[in-house]
Amino acid sequence: MGFNIFVVGLILGSFANMLIYRLPHGVSLFRPARSVCPQCKATIPWYENIPLVSYIYLKGICSSCDTKISTSYFFVELLSGILAVLLWHKLGSSFEFVLVLLLFELLLILSVIDIYHLAVPDYMLILAVVVAFVLPEFDYIAALSFAGGGFLLELFVTYYIQNIKAKLTKNKQLQTARAMGEGDIPIFAIIGGVLGSTLGLVAITVGAFVALVPSVIATIYGKKPQIPFIPYLVVGLFVVYVGVDIL
């Protein structure tokens, strides 16, 4: 059964990859019906579109034009398979499992789009919030307070970066930089609602610590300080949601 769930996760991951590519580029979800190589537009036959297996078999290059296929296709499928298995271990075969899996697939898609574009489509965020809202044990009070807290945190951090840090470092660029995107506030609400107040705070702390790693690396190499926050918040949410039963 666990292996079947893994395969379901892989197939969902393959579908997630299509959405990750098509949604930000405004490509229709139905045309072309089959996936094409982004470089040479050659249609990808079904046997080259098998999750994980095809990527390894093709050695990560397109069979028509030899362009490198992004490793993110492989990792999204793998992560999707792993998260399906872990959620199934927690929830068993239930309707709640289906809803929670759908929620985390949406959050995975949002995370990867955020990594590539530093922005996410609003309707995907709204969809994730709607799915979270219908979860059986969703804590609406915690969701609202986390959304409010996220909003205040964003105001504070943005003010801090724009005024204090910009003055200290005399960096003009920082004056217009935003600390977080508006997309983070719905994610805060989902974390609060799914985990409740106490575990929600733990999740955000975990996410913030994980986010420190690329921030420090970016600072050392003098790169732009803007990092996507959604992936880190989602990692915090997932680690606490699944980990709370293991500990």
Q: Which residues bind Zn ion (CB under 5 A)?
A: 37, 39-40, 62, 64-65, 67
Give alpha helix (H) positions in the chain.
Answer: 2-25, 53-57, 71-91, 95-117, 122-133, 140-159, 166-169, 172-176, 184-220, 230-246
Distance CA 115, CA 227 (A): 8
Q: Report in angstroms how near the CB of residue 211 gets to Zn ion at its nearest.
A: 34
> In terms of CB distance, is 64 or 197 closer to Zn ion?
64
> In terms of CB distance, is 47 or 123 closer to Zn ion?
47
Q: Report in angstroms how near the CB of residue 36 gets to Zn ion at its nearest.
A: 8
Q: Report in angstroms how near the CB of residue 21 gets to Zn ion at its nearest.
A: 14
Q: Report in angstroms how near the CB of residue 29 gets to Zn ion at its nearest.
A: 21
Nearest to 190, CA basis, from 239, 244, 131, 232? 131
Show Cβ contacts of residue 111 under 8 Å, excluding neighbours closer than 6 positions: 228, 230, 231, 234
Q: Report in angstroms how near the CB of residue 16 gets to Zn ion at its nearest.
A: 21
Tokens read off for 124: 């995907």
> In terms of CB distance, is 39 or 94 closer to Zn ion?
39
HSE-CB at 51 with a 13 A cutoff on CA atoms is 20
> In terms of CB distance, is 44 or 161 closer to Zn ion?
44
Q: At what angle do helices 184-220 and 230-246 cross, to 10 degrees?
A: 100
> In terms of CB distance, is 55 or 104 closer to Zn ion?
55
Integer Rg of the chain from CA: 19
> In terms of CB distance, is 21 or 104 closer to Zn ion?
21
Q: Report in angstroms how near the CB of residue 54 gets to Zn ion at its nearest.
A: 13
Distance CA 199, CA 135 (A): 17
Which amino acid is residue 245, in one-letter code?
Answer: D
